[in-house]
Structure 1
Amino acid sequence: MVRPYLPLNALRAFEASARHLSFTRAAIELCVTQAAVSHQVKLLENRLNVTLFKRLPRGLMITAEGEALLPVLRDSFDRMADMLDRFEAGHIREVLMIGAVGTFAVGWLLPRLADFQAKYPFVDVRLSTNNNRVDMAAEGLDFAIRFGGGSWHNIEATRLFEAPLSVLCIPEIAERLKTPADLLDETLLRSYRADEWVTWFDAAGIAYPAPLLKGIVFDSSLAMMEAAAQGIGVALAPPLMFSRLLSNGTMRQPFDVHTSMGSYWLTRLKSRPVTPAMTAFHDWLAAAAEQEAAALPATPDVIAG
C-alpha cells in the first residue's frame, strides 16, 4: 500500500499546536501566520482523514487521534534534532555511551574529561554512573568502567590502575585516632563488600572478627563518604578518588595503611563493534591512567572473560 505524502510543515504545525493548544501561539513559535498554521493542520487532517483538534472558542482540544499521533511525532522530531546536532564543521559527531562507577566518575574521570573533549571534539560523551552493577547490553553502553578483579563473562577488560583503600574521616575524629586500634571505638561505615574492614585491620596487624562489625552499609562510596564528611563515622575508601576532600582539609587520612581489593577496568562487550570514538576514548584513558599504573606491580593488561 502506498501511503500518502505527509508534508513536514503540516506535521510541525500540528506538533506545535498540540503543545500550545493554540494555533496563535504555534504560529508565533514557527514564525508564520495563524492562518498558515490552521491551514497546515487542516491539510494534515484531510490527508489522514481524521480530526486532530476540536476547535473551541478559546483554544484547541486535542482528540484521541491527535493524542495517538503526538508522541510519535515528538520522538521523531527529537531524533532528527539530535542527529542534526551531531554535525559540526562538516563532520558528524559520534555518540559514546559510557557507564562508570560513581566514585571513579566523580573522583577521577570528570576532572579530566575536558581534556578528552578538547582532543576529540567529534565525540559526544554520554556518561551514566552506577554502583558497580551494570548491564552493558541492556543499557546500550560502549564502555563500562568498573571495579573488581577483571574477569567478566564475554567482556574484554583493560586494566587501568589499583585504588587501594585507607581510613578516611573528618579532622575531629582523626585527632583522637592515635593508633589503628583506636578505630575499635569508632563507628565504621561499610560498603556492600563485607570483607574490606577485616582485610584492612589485618594489614594493620589487628585481628578484628567480621561479626563484630556494625554500622550503616552503603552501596556507593560516594554516599559513604558523604556520611563520613558529616561525622557519622569512619570510611574505608580510596584516597585517590577523594584527593580533593583531602587537599582542602575536609577529610583526613590518619594512617598510612592500605589494602587493595581490586582495580579499575575499562570494559566492553566482545560483541560490540569498535568505533573511532571508542578507539579514541580507550587510547586517551589508557594514557591518562598511565601515571597511576606506573607505580603498581605488573599485571596482565587485558583479560577476556
Structure 2
Amino acid sequence: MNITHLPLNAIRAFLVSAKHLNFTKAAVELCVTQAAVSQQVKMLESQLGVSLFIRQSRGLNLSEEGMMLLPVVQGAFDNLSEALDMLAQGIHREVVTVGVVGTFAVNWLLPRIADFQARYPLVDLRISTNNNTADPVAEGLDYLIRFGKGSWHATEATELFPAPFTVLCPPGIGQALASPRDVLNYTLLRSYQPDEWQLWLNEAKVAVPKAKLSAIVFDSSIAMIEAAIQGYGVALAPPVMFERLLMEEKLVQPFDLYLHKGSYWLTKLHAQKESQAQINFKQWLLACASEACSTSV
C-alpha cells in the first residue's frame, strides 16, 4: 500500500483515539467534533481494509491490527515532532552511512564510536558490515572502509594504516611454537585468500608443498579468531585488529614475522560530493588512525 494516499488527519485521529480509547475525549484534544473523529477513523479503516478498534457499549478497545499499528504511528509522530522542534530551533541532523569490513567495525571502529558521537552529536552514523565487498551505489554508502592495496575503479582511497598478517593463537599453543615450522603441527585457520599460509611460510623460509597445507576456512576473521581462542588451531590475521584480545592474553603472537598483504582504506567514489558531516567523519577517522599508529610504534 502507498502510504502517501493515507490522510494524515485520519492517522492522527487514530492515534489520539487509541490514547484515550474514547472518540469524545479524542475530539476534545483535537478540537473537532466526536463525529469528525469517528468518521476519520472509519475512513482510515476502510482504506486499510481492517478494523482498528473493537467498538463496545462502554467504549473502545484496540483490535489486534490496531495494537500492531499503534507503536508504529506513535514512533513516526514522535520522530516528526522531534524533527520539527529541531528545525524551529535552527538545528538539523545529518546522516553518514559507512560500509565497513566486519573485523574493522567490531574490533577497531566500535570502541571509538563514543568519541565521534561526543564530538558530533548531530550526526547519525549508520554502519553496514561486509566481507570486503560492497556496492556503494546500490547500498547507498557515503564511504566504504575496506582492506587491500588501495586501487579500486573510479574510487578515491585514503590509507588508514597497514595491517600485516602474522600467527595468532591461544597461549597454550603459543608456548609449543618454537619455530615457524611448528605451526604445521596444528590446524591452520584462515580467511580471505587461499595462499595466505603458503606466503607466510615462504616469508619464514619454511618449504612446504602447497598440497600438504590443510586449513579450516572462515568467511570472517572474527569467527576465525574465536576458533583459535577455543583451541581449534593457529590463525593468520592482522594483530592490529585484535589488540584487546592480545592485551587480555586470550591470544598471543609467537613470531615477529609478518605477511604484508595490504592496508585498511577509507574509500569513496570520485563522482560523489562530500557533505560537511561526511568530511567531519573522514577527518575524525584519519585522526584516530594516526593516533593509533603513533601509540603502537
CA contact (8 A) 1:123 1:277 kept: yes
Q: Give the secondary-structure state (helix, strand or coil) at the position aligned to 1:265.
A: strand
Offset, 1:282:
1.1
State the partner residue of 2:38.
Answer: 42
1: CA distance between counterparts of 2:216 and 2:6? 62
Residue-pair matches, total: 278
2: CA distance between counterparts of 1:135 and 1:79? 30
Residue 94 in structure 1 maps to residue 90 in structure 2: no
1: CA distance between counterparts of 2:45 and 2:248? 67
Residue 192 in structure 1 maps to residue 184 in structure 2: no
Offset, 1:49:
9.7
- Taking the TM superposition and a 5 Å limit, the aligned residue runs for 1:127-206 are 127-206=127-206
Residue 27 in structure 1 maps to residue 27 in structure 2: no
Offset, 1:77:
4.8
Q: Give the secondary-structure state (helix, strand or coil) at the position aligned to 1:150.
A: coil
Q: What is the letter of the counterpart of residue 249 of structure 1?
A: E
CA contact (8 A) 1:165 1:239 kept: yes
CA contact (8 A) 2:163 2:263 kept: yes
Q: What is the letter of the counterpart of residue 35 of structure 1?
A: T
1: CA distance between counterparts of 2:86 and 2:102? 27
Q: Which runs of 5+ in 2 are unaligned?
A: 28-33
1: CA distance between counterparts of 2:22 and 2:187? 69
Offset, 1:227:
0.7
Q: Give the secondary-structure state (helix, strand or coil) at the position aligned to 1:96.
A: strand
CA contact (8 A) 1:162 1:293 kept: no
Q: Give the secondary-structure state (helix, strand or coil) at the position aligned to 2:138.
A: helix
Offset, 1:168:
0.4
2: CA distance between counterparts of 1:208 and 1:85? 67
Q: Which one is further off, 86-95 or 221-230? A: 86-95
Offset, 1:253:
0.5
2: CA distance between counterparts of 1:5 and 1:219? 45
Q: Give the secondary-structure state (helix, strand or coil) at the position aligned to 2:145.
A: strand
Task: Go from structure 1 to structure 2 and tell me whether the alpha carbon gap of 1:95 and 1:294 turns closer, same or farther (over 3 Å shift).
Answer: same
2: CA distance between counterparts of 1:111 and 1:146? 18
Q: Give the secondary-structure state (helix, strand or coil) at the position aligned to 2:107.
A: helix
Q: What is the letter of the counterpart of residue 142 of structure 1?
A: D
Task: Go from structure 1 to structure 2 and tell me whether the alpha carbon gap of 1:130 and 1:89 turns closer, same or farther (over 3 Å shift).
Answer: farther
Q: What per-residue deviation string (whole Å, max 9, x for no partner) do you get for residues 245-304 of structure 1? A: 111111101111111111101011223221001111111112222245679xxxxxxxxx
Q: Which one is further off, 105-114 or 274-283? A: 105-114
Task: Go from structure 1 to structure 2 and tell me whether the alpha carbon gap of 1:174 and 1:47 turns closer, same or farther (over 3 Å shift).
Answer: closer
CA contact (8 A) 2:11 2:41 kept: no
State the partner residue of 2:290.
Answer: 290
Offset, 1:91:
1.6
Q: What is the letter of the counterpart of residue 96 of structure 1?
A: V
Q: What per-residue deviation string (whole Å, max 9, x for no partner) do you get for residues 46-90 of structure 1? A: 667937527455845589xx9xx9999689658736845976974
Q: Which runs of 5+ in 1 are unaligned?
A: 18-22, 296-305
Q: What is the letter of the counterpart of residue 27 of structure 1?
A: K
TM-score of the aligned structures, taking structure 1 as reference length: 0.78
Q: What is the letter of the counterpart of residue 286 of structure 2?
A: A
Q: What is the letter of the counterpart of residue 242 of structure 1?
A: F
Offset, 1:144:
0.9
Q: What per-residue deviation string (whole Å, max 9, x for no partner) do you get for residues 70-113 of structure 1? A: 99968965873684597697421211111111111122212222
2: CA distance between counterparts of 1:27 and 1:291? 52
2: CA distance between counterparts of 1:115 and 1:144? 20
Task: Go from structure 1 to structure 2 and tell me whether the alpha carbon gap of 1:159 and 1:49 turns closer, same or farther (over 3 Å shift).
Answer: closer
State the partner residue of 1:266.
Answer: 266
State the partner residue of 1:222.
Answer: 222
Task: Go from structure 1 to structure 2 and tell me whether the alpha carbon gap of 1:48 and 1:128 turns closer, same or farther (over 3 Å shift).
Answer: closer
1: CA distance between counterparts of 2:102 and 2:8? 46
Q: What is the letter of the counterpart of residue 165 of structure 2?
A: L
TM-score of the aligned structures, taking structure 2 as reference length: 0.80
Task: Go from structure 1 to structure 2 and tell me whether the alpha carbon gap of 1:86 and 1:186 turns closer, same or farther (over 3 Å shift).
Answer: farther
